[in-house]
Amino acid sequence: MKEISLKDTVFETVSKFPEIREVIISLGFAPLRDDKMLQTAGRMMTLGRAAKQFGLSYETVAQTLADHGFTVKESEL
% helix, strand, coil for the chain, step of 5: 60, 10, 30
- The answer to whether residue 70 scores a pLDDT higher than 90 is yes
- CB–CB of 47/14 below 8 Å? no
Q: For residue 21, what is the domain's CATH number?
A: 1.10.3910.10
The 10s digit of each residue's pLDDT in 26-66 is: 999 999 999 999 999 999 999 999 999 999 999 999 999 99
pLDDT value at 77 more than 80: no
Supply angle C-alpha 60, 77, 48, rounded to 5: 90
User: What pLDDT was estimated at residue 5?
Assistant: 97
The answer to whether residue 76 sits within a structural domain is no
Number of domains in the chain: 1
With respect to residue 77, please indicate whether it lies within any of the assigned structural domains.
no
C-alpha dist (Å) from residue 18 to 28, 31, 38, 77: 17, 16, 12, 22
Is residue 30 in a domain? yes
What range defines the domain where residue 53 resides? Answer: 2-71
- What is the predicted pLDDT for the residue at 69? 96
